[in-house]
Structure 1
Amino acid sequence: MSPTAPGTRVQRMPRAQRRAQLLDAALDVFVSKGYHSAAMEDIADEAGVSKPVLYQHFPGKLDLYLALLDAQCDHLEALVLEALESSNEHEERVYATVRAFFAFVADEGGAFRLIYESDLTNEPQVRHRIDALEAQLGDAIAQRIMQDTTLPRELAEMLGLAMAGAAQVMARTWLAHGTAFSQEVAAQAAGHLAWRGIGSFPINRMGGDPEPGSHPSK
Structure 2
Amino acid sequence: MTGSGTAPTARSPRTGGSGHDVAYRRMTVEQRRAQLLAAALGLFAHRAPEDVSLDDVAHAAEVSRPLVYRYFPGGKQQLYEATLRSAADELEQCFAEPQTGPLTRRLSRALDRYLDLVDQHDAGFTALLQGGSVCETSRTDAIVDEVRRAAAEQILLHMEVPEPGPRLRMMVRTWITAVEAASLIWLDETASSPRDRQPSAGELRDWLVDHFLALLTATAARDPQTARVTSAALALENADGPVGALARRVIPLMGDAAHLLDDEPRGSGPGTGG
Whether TM-score is above 0.5 comes out as yes
Give ranges in structure 1 of 5+ residues lacking alignment. 208-218
Shift of 1:109: 6.2
Specify the SS of the correspondent of 1:180.
Answer: coil
Aligned identity (percent) is 21
Shift of 1:159: 1.3
Q: What's the counterpart of residue 99 of structure 1? A: 112
1:11 aligns with 2:29: no
**Is the CA contact (8 Å cut-off) linking 1:99 and 1:188 kept in structure 2?**
no
- Seen in structure 2, the aligned counterparts of structure 1 residues 95 and 199 have a Cα distance that, compared at 3 Å, is farther
Write the distance in 1 (CA, Å) between the matches of 2:54 and 2:157: 41
- TM-score for both structures, normalised by structure 1: 0.76
* Letter of the structure 1 residue corresponding to residue 60 of structure 2: E
Write the distance in 1 (CA, Å) between the matches of 2:216 and 2:232: 18
My pick for the range that moved more, 139-148 or 72-81, is 139-148
* Letter of the structure 2 residue corresponding to residue 160 of structure 1: V
- Seen in structure 2, the aligned counterparts of structure 1 residues 88 and 120 have a Cα distance that, compared at 3 Å, is farther
Give ranges in structure 2 of 5+ residues lacking alignment. 1-10, 16-20, 191-196, 221-226, 234-274
- Seen in structure 2, the aligned counterparts of structure 1 residues 74 and 137 have a Cα distance that, compared at 3 Å, is same
1:70 aligns with 2:63: no
Write the distance in 2 (CA, Å) between the matches of 1:115 and 1:41: 20
Pairing partner for 1:116 from 129, 134, 155: 129
- Seen in structure 2, the aligned counterparts of structure 1 residues 5 and 12 have a Cα distance that, compared at 3 Å, is closer
Count matched residues.
Answer: 201
Shift of 1:189: 2.0
Write the distance in 2 (CA, Å) between the matches of 1:121 and 1:162: 26
1:193 aligns with 2:208: no
Once the two structures are superposed, the pairs formed by residues 1-218 of structure 1 within 5 Å of their partners are: 6=14, 9-15=22-28, 16-59=30-73, 60-82=75-97, 85=98, 87-108=100-121, 110-118=123-131, 119-120=133-134, 122-145=136-159, 147=161, 153-177=165-189, 179-199=197-217, 201=220, 202-204=227-229
Write the distance in 1 (CA, Å) between the matches of 2:65 and 2:176: 39
Shift of 1:108: 4.2
Write the distance in 2 (CA, Å) between the matches of 1:35 and 1:106: 18
1:6-41, Cα deviation, whole Å (9 max, x unpaired):
466141221333222211221233344422232211
- Seen in structure 2, the aligned counterparts of structure 1 residues 67 and 122 have a Cα distance that, compared at 3 Å, is closer
**Is the CA contact (8 Å cut-off) linking 1:86 and 1:96 kept in structure 2?**
no
Write the distance in 1 (CA, Å) between the matches of 2:147 and 2:96: 12
Shift of 1:160: 1.7
